[in-house]
Amino acid sequence: MPNGTEGFLLVAAAVAYLIASVGYGANLLLRRLNLARTGQYAAILAVVCHTFAIGVHCAVTRQTPFTTPAETLSASAWTVALVYLILEFLIKPKPYALGALALPASFLCLFAGAVLHQTQRSNAPITVAPELDSRLISLHVIAILFAFSLLMLAFGCALLYLVQHRMLKRKRSGGLFGKLPPLTTLETQAFSMVAFAFPLLTVGLVSGVIRAAAGGLSGAWAADPKILASTVTWLVYGVYLGLHSIAHWRGPRANYILIGGLLAALATYFMPTTAHRFG
Amino acid sequence: MPLVLVGINHESAPVEVREKLAIGEHALPRTLLALSGLGPVLEGAILSTCNRTEIYAVLDPESGATEEILAEFLAGQHGLSRHQFDGRLYFYRDGAAANHLFSVAAGVDSMILGEPDIQRQVKQAMEAAQGAKTLGTLLNRLFQDALVAGKRARTETEIARGAFSIGAAAVERAAQIFGDSLEGNTVLVLGAGKMSEVTARHLQAKGAPTVLVANRTYERAEHLAAQFGGHARRFDELESALLSADIVVCSTSAPHPVVTRTLIKNAMRARHNRPLFLIDIAVPRDVEASVGDLDNVYLYNIDDLMQIVAGARQTRSGEVAQARDIIDAMATEYGRWRQSLEVAPTIVAVRDKLAAVRAAELARLRTRLPGLSDKEWRSVEAAMESLTNKIAHPAIVAIKSSATETGDSAALETIRQVFGLEREDDDQLPATAVPAANTRRAPDA
């Protein structure tokens, strides 16, 4: 975790993310609207603190806020929470159940970013990769971050869908039954999120490819595991959209694809690479 | 005469077993006639709902028949062996049988505590038996008392308040699939039964704007559709109706499934896999069980919905206890009435015997005392009548008293001996020949 004002703001954001997670989670279990409201206010506070923290970071370092893997994780936390809050503002009824997944994801990303930051600081000083100077790379990272956030939320919808579907098929009452959004709502929301995320993902990948080609990287980048994995991820979501729109795939099968898609996206992040560098 | 009951219900068997013994509305008169055709059966009535099939009968005590004859009849009517239902059938006798029917009518025996529909179904069972002329004095009074017990339990206790119905359970599940408001969803009612109508009304109240009704009898479908402001469909248009429907309520009286896996599989393809919620409240079931395995199809049968209802049922032990008090009191009253009915011939015999003695003595006196004036003779007759009445009174009180003590026929027998009543009277006194069993055996072994 960085020191000074940025560090303070990030700690405040982390605490607020945690409170928001507890608020949304408790609302999911207890169905108390005031708990969801607590989560909502905490999430807004967290995003505000996090935004200022990113702003301070950019002002101090005069760099983009995603020059290292740790910063990218922190930026992911911010985009996931921000996109969730935008959706909460736009969608009725409010998708509070999704908040119970989105805000913990934000907290975990920020926490993982802080841990990674500590590790990097002790190992070596940060040097900025020349590739990251490019505006094309900024477009690449921002597009992928927002696409990832939407895909993360689509994953949340798919997860809730599968839980709800299972309870309905097993004819169970009690537990989470009656507390999750209806199946048709979850399915529609998941599809809409992927429909918005997919063009962003495409822009992110294409801008990365153009930058790689323009940057004089040899053809070896095309066979890089991380780049191959990102292509697979893109294909998974492309197949999902195709099957949903053309073959009218609905229900658990379609939602399992979304689960697989996010796993592919996470695998992409952790995939070893030689051609793709943060710094 | 023994009053016996054989039945199967939601507690003793799941729907896949229960439906094998269901007796549809149309088959009821024929089955009642077949029941009355059994030699030992003096009276009979059948109560068949989605939750239970029960046969009530009064048996001839001379025949030596037991409730087993009813179990074999019930299975035999469906071409099945009685032993297929070992452990599923329950047997009640006399007071326990009466108590059971009163509990059923009051909704205490229902999974939905205090449900109102069962009262109507008990009345229908009584009317069907009356129509088939299989209802005699004992069963007629039993069913009449059951209706009174049901009404009293509902009006004098809170048992029916807050009952979570099948319709409410269906709406709750539909909301988990389509959302709290069912606006934009189409309900298809398959079969124009009362239960489907009630369930569809619940769904319509949640905003489902379009209701389609398909029934074998098109006129009935039109009638019901008009009540919903919906559209009637012919039964052979089911396939096309399934394309626009989101929620299907099935309650036909068909003996076999009318909604098959193939039908739904094809429909799901044509409707682009939009979710389909099937509510099958028919017994026998209308929808093949394997339909529930299809993706995006959610199938709930009567037992599934009943389970939900039972889960949501509040603990209302106080109301149940109050209702049971009413039921017990009425069952006891019915038992007394039955026994008083059974000792009535003895009372008549005692009176006849004393009247005969009086007449004989008066005839003898007429020859011995020819000089008595008419006025004097009337005084003698009045005195003799008063005398015999005074002799009869304590005996009649004792006979009636014996009727209130379950199983105590000693006093009755003593009086019969004292008055020298002939044994052939026993033909009219079946109560004394019947063991006063107040037994219950449920379910059978």
B308:A185 CB<8 A: no
Instruction: Number of A to B CB contacts under 8 A, please give it.
Output: 51
State yes or no: pLDDT of B67 exceeds 60.
yes
The count of residues in chain B is 445
Judged against a pLDDT cut of 50, whether residue B272 lies above it is answered with yes
ipTM confidence: 0.85
Which secondary structure element, helix H or strand E, spans residue B120, and what is its range?
A: helix B117-131
In angstroms, the separation between the Cα of residue B408 and the nearest Cα of chain A is 52
Please check whether residue B175 touches A, CB under 8 A. yes
Subunit contact A250:B272, Cβ cutoff 8 A = yes
Closest by Cβ to A171, choosing from B272, B296, B307: B307
DSSP assignments along B245-305, one per residue: -SEEEE----SS-SB-HHHHHHHHHHTTT--EEEEE--SS-SB-GGGGGSTTEEEEEHHHH
Strands (E), B86-219: 90-93, 186-190, 210-215
Measure A7 CA to nearest chain B CA, in Å: 43
Whether A162 and chain B come into contact, CB under 8 Å, resolves to no
Q: Which residue in chain A has the smallest CA separation from B305?
A: A171
- Listed by number, the residues of chain B in 344-403 with a beta carbon closer than 8 Å to a beta carbon of chain A are none
Q: Do B273 and A168 lie within an 8 Å CB cutoff?
A: no
pLDDT of res. B431? 38
The H or E element that residue B371 is part of is none
The answer to whether residue A171 neighbours chain B at the CB level (below 8 Å) is yes
**Of the candidates B176, B311, B312, which has its C-beta nearest A168's C-beta?**
B176
Task: Check pLDDT > 70 for residue A125.
Answer: no
Phi-psi sector, B272: left (phi>0), alpha (psi -120 to 50), beta: left
pLDDT in tens, B337-372: 887 777 777 888 888 888 888 888 888 888 888 888
**Is the pLDDT higher at A165 or at A130?**
A165
| The dihedral formed by the CA atoms of A84, A89, A91 and A93, expressed in degrees to the nearest 10 | 110
Structural domains of chain A, ranges and CATH numbers in brackets: 1-126 (1.20.120), 128-279 (no CATH)
- Does B265 contact chain A (CB < 8 Å)? no
**Inter-chain touch B295–A252, beta carbons under 8 Å:** yes
The Cβ-side half-sphere exposure at B306, using a 13 Å CA radius, reads 21
Q: Tokens 């009362």 belong to which residue?
A: B194
Whether the CB of A86 is below 8 Å from some CB of chain B: the reply is: no
For the annotated catalytic residues of B, the residue numbers are: 50
Q: How far is B311 from chain A (nearest CA, A)?
A: 8
Q: Compute CA distances B239 → A4, B243, B288, B419, whole Å.
A: 70, 7, 15, 77
**Is the model's pLDDT at A30 over the cut of 60?**
yes
**Bridge-partner residues for B186, per DSSP?**
B210
**Inter-chain touch A248–B292, beta carbons under 8 Å:** no
pLDDT tens-digit series, residues A194-206: 999 999 999 999 9
Residue range A65-93: average pLDDT? 88
B176, B272, B312 ranked by CB distance to A182: nearest? B176
d(CA B398, CA B141): 25
> With an 8 Å Cβ cutoff, are A182 and B178 in contact?
yes
Chain B nearest C-alpha distance from A199 (Å): 25
Q: What residue type is assigned to position A109 of the chain?
A: C
CB within 8 Å: B298 and A253: no
Residue whose C-alpha is closest to residue B212's, from B193, B187, B237:
B187
* pTM for this predicted structure: 0.68
Q: Identify the sign of the CA torsion A212, A213, A217, A222.
A: positive
Taking every pair of Cα atoms in chain A, the longest distance, rounded to a whole number of angstroms, is: 60
Among candidate residues B305, B334, B268, the one with its CA nearest the CA of residue B99? B334
pLDDT digits (tens, 9 = 90+) for B151-169: 998 888 877 765 567 777 8
In sequence order, what are the beta bridge partners of B43?
Answer: B58
pLDDT given at position B288:
94
